[in-house]
A and B are shown apart, each in its own frame.
Chain A
Amino acid sequence: MAEIQLRDLWKYYDEVPAVRGINLDIEHNEFIALVGPSGCGKTTTLRMIAGLEDITAGDISVGDRIVNEVAPKDRDIAMVFQNYALYPHMSVFQNMSFGLRLRKTPKEEIDRRVNMAADILNIGELLERRPKQLSGGQRQRVAMGRAIVRDPQVFLFDEPLSNLDAKLRVQMRTEIKKIHQRVKTTVVYVTHDQVEAMTLADRIVVMNEGVIEQVGTPEEMYDDPQTLFVASFIGSPSMNFIPCQVEAANGGLSIQLADNLSFPVPADRLDRCGPGVGREMLFGIRPEHITDKRPHTDPTHHNFTSDVVVLEPMGIDTMVFINIGETEITTRSRPRAVSQVGQPMEFTIDMAHMHLIDPKTDVVL
C-alpha cells in the first residue's frame, strides 16, 4: 500500500519560498496530476517526494512511514524525468535492469521483468541498443520501462511528454493511461498542460505561487472551480471573464453586463450569488456555453445578438470572438451557423454553467 501524505510542506530556496505549506493526501493507486504555470512549485513538490530536494518544513509520508530523512534510494520510488535521463553508456536492457541489479535481483527475475515491461511498451526489439540510437519517443518509452520494471510503490512523472512533438505527445498520453490501467500504482504526474492533467488524472491538484488552489476530479475542476485562477487555468480555450453587476429583480437576481445585456441567474444559483448583489463582480462563462442560437425550452438558456469580430475555424467547431463592452469574449459555434465577420449573429447562452467571481478575493461564489 502506498498512500502519500504531504503535511504542511514548505520549501525555501535561500530566502525565496517555492512551496508554501501545502497539504495533500494521495490515495493508494491513485493517479494525481500536479498542474500549474511554471514556477508554481509543482516540480519542487515532486522532487521533495522523490527525496531529491530537502524539505524546509513539514512532513512527507509514503505508505506508513515518514520519509523526510530517508535517502532517495531507500524510498522505493521511480521517476520519469522530463529529459528522460537515460544512462548513455548502457544498453536499453542495462538501463532498465540497473535498479534491479543494484538490488541483487536474481537474473531470471530481471529478465522476466524487463521482458514484461518491454512487452507493455513495445520496445522488445530495442533492448540491445544504446540511448543515442533511439528516437525521442523510444527514449521516452525506455525511461518509463526503467520505472516499470522496478515495480515501485510510487511513480513520479516530471513533465514526461513536454519534449515530444504534438502528435507523439497525444499518442504517449494514451499509452500512459493504458499503462496505469495495467500496472496499478500510485502516480504523481507533474505537467503544465491542463489537457494532459484532465485526460490522465483521477484527481487534479492545481498549484499557483507555491500553494494549492484546488484539488478535485477533472469534472469538479471543470464544472466547479473555486478560484479565479483555477477557472482560468482549466479548460481550453479558457473561460471568459466579463465585468458585471448583480441586481435584484422580480424576486430573483440578474447579471447586468455592458451593452445593456442582462441575464437572470438560475434559481439554484440564487443563494450562492446573493452576496454579490450591488457590487462590481466578474461573470465567468466558458466558450462552449455561448453557442449559435439553438431552439430551447430550458429556462436557463437565453438569446442575445452581437457582431462577429474574429472567426477561428477549428474543424469540428468554430470559435467566434465578440465584444461585450470592452471585453473580448470567445464563443463556440457549429461552423455552418456562423455569420460573416462584422455581421450580427444570434447566440444562446446557458446560464446554468455561469460563475460569479469576487474580484477582490478572486474566489468563485
Chain B
Amino acid sequence: MSSSTTTLTGSGGREVGINKVPIWRRRKAALNYVALLPYVFFALFPFYIMFITSIKTDQEINNLGNSPFWATGIATEHYVYLATNTSFFQHWFVNTLIVTVAVTIISVSIGTLAAYALARLRFRGVELFGVAVFITYLIPQTLLFIPLIDVINTIDDYVPIRDTYWSLILTYPTFLIPFVTWLLMGYFKTIPVEVEECAYLDGCSRLGALFRVVLPMAVPGIMCAILFSITLSWNELLYSLVFIQDEAAKTISVGVITELIRGDIYYWGSLMAACFIGALPIIMIYGFFMDYFTSGLTAGAIK
C-alpha cells in the first residue's frame, strides 16, 4: 500500500490530516511527561551532585558559605589526583573491567544452558532442580562469603588466587549463575515449543535447534541477562572487599572506599570523581542495550 497519501479531502473540500494528532491526545502526553518529572529528578539528582562536586576545588567544597548545588568554576584537580596519586585508572578500572567481562561470559553461558535444560528437558527431578537454583540465589551474600573464604584459601594452597581478580572471577558466578538461570528459564518458556520442533523436523539436532533457532529468538532475554550480569559484577562490593587487600588488585567499588576515605577523612572531590567515572560505563551500556528491551523478537512466530 502506498503511504504517500497523507491527506484526504473531506466533505466540503476540507483537507483532513490523517497524521494530525488531536489536541486531547497531545494534552494527555504532556501531562504524562509532567507526571514523570519528579521521578526523573529523584533518579538523576545523585548523579548531578556527584558530578558538580567532582569539578569543584577542595576550597570550594569545604567552604560552607557556598551552595552545594552549584559550582563557580571547573576544576580538574580531583581527576588529576585520581590519575596520578591512586591506582584508579592503572589498576582498579582495568581489574573491574576484566572481572566484569569474564564473569559475564561465564555466568551467561552456563546460565543460558542451564535455563534451557530446566525449561525444556524432561528429566527426573527437573522441578526440584529449578527450585534448588532459586533457593541458591536467595542465600544472602553476607552469609555465603564466610564459607567462600575457606574455598578461596583452599584453592590458594595450590593456585595463587587470593588477592587477585581470579578470586572474584571464581566467586561472582555463585550468585550470577542462579540469577541468570532463573531469569532465562522464564524467557525460554515463552518461546513456542513448536518452532523448536519444526527445527527438529527440518533437520536440526537438539543443540542445532538451540543455537540456530532458540537462542536467536531468546536474544532480548539474553541481552537482559548480560546487562544485569555486567551491572551486578561492576557494582559488587562485599566479595572484593573480603578477598582482596592488595591495592593493585582492587576493583573500583573497593578501591574508592578504602583508598579515598582515610579513617574519618573523606576526600569528597576525588571520591565523587571516582564514583562518576565508575558509573559512566554502566550508564553507557544501558543506553546501548535499551532497544533490546523494547523490541520483542518472537513476534510472527505463531499465529
A→B interface (CB under 8 Å): 50-52, 71-73, 75, 77-79, 81-89, 98-99, 102-103, 130-134, 136, 139, 146, 150, 163
Query: B159 an interface residue at 8 Å Cβ cutoff?
Result: no
A-B residue pairs in contact (CB < 8 Å), sample of 19? A50-B197, A52-B201, A72-B197, A73-B205, A77-B201, A78-B201, A81-B198, A83-B301, A83-B302, A85-B192, A86-B302, A87-B195, A88-B299, A99-B202, A102-B203, A130-B300, A131-B299, A136-B303, A163-B303
Q: Is the CB of A79 within 8 A of B217?
A: no
Report which residue of A50, A51, A72, A130 has the largest number of chain B beta carbons within 10 angstroms of its beta carbon. Answer: A72
Query: B68 an interface residue at 8 Å Cβ cutoff?
Result: no
Within 8 A of A (CB), among B261-303: 297-303
Least CB distance from B41 to A in Å reads: 38
Within 8 A of A (CB), among B184-212: 192, 194-195, 197-205, 208, 212
Q: Is chain B's interface secondary structure helix, strand, loop, or mixed overall? A: helix
Q: Is the CB of B204 within 8 A of A79?
A: no
In angstroms, Cα B201 to Cα A85, docked, is 12
Q: Is the CB of B301 within 8 A of A150?
A: no
Interface membership of chain B positions 222-255, coded 1 if the CB is closer than 8 angstroms to chain A and 0 otherwise: 0000000000000000000000000000000000
Least CB distance from B204 to A in Å reads: 6
List 17 extra interface pairs beyond A83-B302, A102-B203, A131-B300, CB under 8 A.
A50-B197, A50-B201, A72-B200, A72-B201, A73-B202, A83-B192, A85-B192, A85-B195, A85-B301, A87-B199, A87-B213, A88-B299, A88-B300, A89-B219, A102-B204, A131-B299, A146-B202
Q: Which 3 residue pairs of A and B lie closest in terms of their CB atoms, listed nearest first?
A: A132-B300, A131-B300, A83-B302
In angstroms, Cα B192 to Cα A75, docked, is 22
Q: Is the CB of A85 within 8 A of B300?
A: no
Measured between beta carbons, the chain A residues less than 8 angstroms from B204 are 73, 102
Q: Is the CB of A88 within 8 A of B217?
A: yes
Q: Is the CB of A52 within 8 A of B200?
A: yes
Measured between beta carbons, the chain B residues less than 8 angstroms from A88 are 195, 217, 297-301
Query: B160 an interface residue at 8 Å Cβ cutoff?
Result: no
Q: Which residue of B lies closest to A163 (CB)?
A: B303
In angstroms, Cα B126 to Cα A100, docked, is 35
The contact of A83 among B205, B299, B303, by CB within 8 Å, is B303
In angstroms, Cα B299 to Cα A84, docked, is 12
Measured between beta carbons, the chain B residues less than 8 angstroms from A103 are 203
Measured between beta carbons, the chain B residues less than 8 angstroms from A89 are 216-217, 219, 297
Report which residue of A81, A103, A139, A150 has the largest number of chain B beta carbons within 10 angstroms of its beta carbon. Answer: A81
In angstroms, Cα B61 to Cα A190, docked, is 78
Least CB distance from B242 to A in Å reads: 43
Measured between beta carbons, the chain A residues less than 8 angstroms from B192 are 83, 85
Q: Which residue of B lies closest to A129 (CB)?
A: B300
In angstroms, Cα B199 to Cα A98, docked, is 8
In angstroms, Cα B204 to Cα A136, docked, is 26
B→A interface (CB under 8 Å): 192, 194-195, 197-205, 208, 212-213, 216-217, 219, 297-303
Q: Is the CB of A84 within 8 A of B200?
A: no
Q: Is the CB of A84 within 8 A of B205?
A: no
Measured between beta carbons, the chain A residues less than 8 angstroms from B201 are 50-52, 72-73, 75, 77-79, 99
Q: Which residue of A lies closest to B193 (CB)?
A: A85
Least CB distance from A25 to B in Å reads: 23
Least CB distance from A105 to B in Å reads: 11
Q: Which residue of A lies closest to B215 (CB)?
A: A89
Q: Which residue of B lies closest to A80 (CB)?
A: B198
Measured between beta carbons, the chain A residues less than 8 angstroms from B203 are 73, 99, 102-103
The contact of B194 among A72, A81, A131, A133, by CB within 8 Å, is A81
Q: Is the CB of B197 within 8 A of A84?
A: no
Measured between beta carbons, the chain A residues less than 8 angstroms from B205 are 71, 73
Measured between beta carbons, the chain B residues less than 8 angstroms from A98 are 199, 202, 212
Q: Is the CB of A102 within 8 A of B202?
A: yes
Known: A52-B197, A81-B194. A86 touches B300 (CB 8 A): yes
Measured between beta carbons, the chain B residues less than 8 angstroms from A130 are 300
Least CB distance from A147 to B in Å reads: 9
Report which residue of A82, A83, A85 has the largest number of chain B beta carbons within 10 angstroms of its beta carbon. Answer: A85
Q: Which residue of A lies closest to B195 (CB)?
A: A85
Measured between beta carbons, the chain A residues less than 8 angstroms from B199 are 87, 98
Measured between beta carbons, the chain A residues less than 8 angstroms from B198 are 79, 81, 85, 87, 146
Measured between beta carbons, the chain B residues less than 8 angstroms from A163 are 303
Q: Is the CB of B200 within 8 A of A73?
A: yes
Least CB distance from A29 to B in Å reads: 20
Measured between beta carbons, the chain B residues less than 8 angstroms from A75 are 201
Known: A132-B300, A134-B300. A85 touches B197 (CB 8 A): yes
Measured between beta carbons, the chain A residues less than 8 angstroms from B208 are 102
Measured between beta carbons, the chain B residues less than 8 angstroms from A146 are 198, 202
Measured between beta carbons, the chain A residues less than 8 angstroms from B303 are 83-84, 136, 139, 163
In angstroms, Cα B197 to Cα A77, docked, is 12
